[in-house]
Chain A
Amino acid sequence: MIAIIKYSGGNVRSVLNAIARLGLKGNVTSDASEILQADKVIFPGQGRAKPAMEDLNKQKLDEVIKKIEAPFLGICLGMQLLLPFSEEDDTKCLGVIPGKVKRFPNQDTEGNKLNVPLIGWNNVKQKKDDPLFKDVPDNSYFYFVNSYYADPESAAILGETKYGLNFASVVKKDNYYGVQFHPEKSGEVGEKLFKNFIGM
């Protein structure tokens, strides 16, 4: 069973559609036992960190997420919430992966204007081999939409992307994966990566 965590910050439909395109079915749930018994857990995310965390805390899903042993995939805000702290409204987050979530600067290192949010297709440099990248060519393009980026401990970085600076676009610690981009909106390459996760 693939559980998709239901809370106020999730963009569930596009994840459900992506799972359906693989011929599978996802279970959208906020039930602790269903989440803990799932074979895979997907944690989508969109919007702001603070209301998302408030809702997770209220539903006691923060504690549930920390207990998950199955392969786990945080998407976009769902990845950022895995870190202990976000500069977005100075929000205390889950702390599954050490580090901090920061806002993109308004200029790149050469002083050129940097649009925020980052919107569009950008490449991911694979820093380590991982089953998540099976058949996904290095420097493949994925679709990003974010104003903040994760700056985790370096041991957790699987993939990196450049936008003004290099940031972690794919992270992993134990069974927890996080991707900053939207695999469900990243064409065939995104579908491959998504399939790799589902197949774990």
Chain B
Amino acid sequence: MLTKRIIACMDVAEGRIVKGEKYTNFRDAGDPIAVAKEYSDMGVDELVFLDIKASVENRETTYNLVKKVAQEINIPFAVAGGVKTVEDVKNLLNSGADKVGIETAAVLNPDLINQAAEKFGSQCIVVSISPKRQDGSGWELYIKGGREATGVDAIGFSQDMAKRGAGELMVNSMDQDGTRAGYDLELLRAISDSVSIPVIASSGAGKMEHFLQAFQEGKADAALAASIFHYREIEVPELKKYLARNGIPVRLQIK
């Protein structure tokens, strides 16, 4: 039976894991390879590296990191952050990334998703979206790290992305981000119900219960978290046992 995936996300800049206030005041939080290995040994199912300082100047550093991760780690991983062109996708895949996450460019240039999926296959194209709840109803997409509103409806956009060839959708709720109050379950369910590709829940996890809710009520296929794993506030083996006890299929046996 297909299991629900637990994904650990690492924010990286210049080849190191960083933590701290969004986009300012970085604090070095470790070597991505060592942390990735620990996660893999704990039973994390997949990794995401978010290049938060992605820019032309430090692309090479990112490619080198991706190469090293691909050499050392034997579980799938995605790389996201600043991906704008088919060439960016190609370089990350050639460096050894299994998947590439695309966010802002998917909104500004949706044809990129068609082109990338056609060329490399849907399986490696993850579209990441950052919706924010609107006063009336529905959710509006934000881009550029949450700094810019787009007026685009999250549900319609998700369906469009699936049609264009996205292999997975990563849903980062702007409202829940950093709250540790749980994922936006209504948003997750609305998206899961409207597409036939896997949905990854992101933003808001604070307790084990939140993961259970993301799978049961949000109908997510995978749930992602960053700092609560990094600071061991939730231990992945415990989380998986808890989910299994509550009837969620998870990969328990890892050897």
A residues near B (Cβ < 8 Å) are 13-14, 17-18, 20-21, 46-48, 106, 113-123, 137, 139-141, 143-147, 162-163, 182, 184-191
- Shortest B234–chain A CB gap in Å is 19
- Shortest B247–chain A CB gap in Å is 16
- Shortest A106–chain B CB gap in Å is 7
| 0/1 string, B222-255, CB within 8 A of A gives 1 | 1000000000000000000000000000010111
- Are B74 and A184 touching (Cβ within 8 A)? yes
- Are B222 and A120 touching (Cβ within 8 A)? yes
With A119-B123, A162-B1 as contacts: A187 and B70 at CB distance below 8 Å: no
A194 and B167 CA atoms in complex are apart in Å by 27
Question: Which A residues are CB-close (under 8 A) to B4?
Answer: 120
With A13-B96, A47-B120, A121-B5 as contacts: A115 and B74 at CB distance below 8 Å: no
- Are A48 and B5 touching (Cβ within 8 A)? no
Most buried by B among A46, A121, A143: A121
| 0/1 string, B60-92, CB within 8 A of A gives 1 | 000000000011101110000000000000000
**Residues of A contacting B: mostly:** mixed
- Are B70 and A14 touching (Cβ within 8 A)? yes
Question: Which B residues are CB-close (under 8 A) to A47?
Answer: 120-121
Question: Which A residues are CB-close (under 8 A) to B70?
Answer: 13-14, 17
- Are A189 and B255 touching (Cβ within 8 A)? yes
Pair count A-B, CB < 8 A: 89
A140 and B75 CA atoms in complex are apart in Å by 15
Question: Which B residues are CB-close (under 8 A) to A162?
Answer: 1
Question: Which B residues are CB-close (under 8 A) to A117?
Answer: 122-123, 167, 197
Most buried by A among B2, B4, B72, B98: B2
Which single residue of chain A is at the shortest CB-CB distance from B4?
A120
Pick the residue among A18, A121, A137, A186 that contacts B2 (CB under 8 A). A121
Question: Which B residues are CB-close (under 8 A) to A139?
Answer: 253
Question: Which B residues are CB-close (under 8 A) to A17?
Answer: 70-71, 96
With A106-B196, A116-B196 as contacts: A122 and B2 at CB distance below 8 Å: yes
A46 and B97 CA atoms in complex are apart in Å by 14
A115 and B75 CA atoms in complex are apart in Å by 21
B184 at the interface (CB under 8 A from A): no
- Are B98 and A115 touching (Cβ within 8 A)? no
Question: Which A residues are CB-close (under 8 A) to B98?
Answer: 14, 185
Which single residue of chain A is at the shortest CB-CB distance from B255?
A188
- Are A188 and B254 touching (Cβ within 8 A)? yes
Question: How many of chain B's residues have a CB under 8 angstroms from any CB in A?
Answer: 31
- Are A191 and B1 touching (Cβ within 8 A)? no
- Are B197 and A115 touching (Cβ within 8 A)? yes
- Shortest B125–chain A CB gap in Å is 11
With A14-B98, A141-B251, A163-B2 as contacts: A46 and B121 at CB distance below 8 Å: yes
A190 and B253 CA atoms in complex are apart in Å by 12
A140 and B123 CA atoms in complex are apart in Å by 22
- Are A143 and B75 touching (Cβ within 8 A)? yes
Most buried by A among B123, B197, B198: B123
Which single residue of chain B is at the shortest CB-CB distance from A136?
B255
A190 and B5 CA atoms in complex are apart in Å by 17
- Shortest A132–chain B CB gap in Å is 17
A46 and B94 CA atoms in complex are apart in Å by 13
20 A-B residue contacts at CB 8 Å? A13-B70, A13-B96, A17-B71, A20-B71, A21-B71, A46-B121, A47-B121, A114-B196, A115-B221, A117-B167, A117-B197, A118-B2, A119-B123, A120-B4, A120-B45, A120-B198, A120-B221, A137-B253, A188-B74, A190-B74
Question: Which A residues are CB-close (under 8 A) to B45?
Answer: 120-121
A195 and B70 CA atoms in complex are apart in Å by 18
Which single residue of chain A is at the shortest CB-CB distance from B162?
A115
B1-56 interface with A by 8 A CB criterion: 1-5, 40, 45
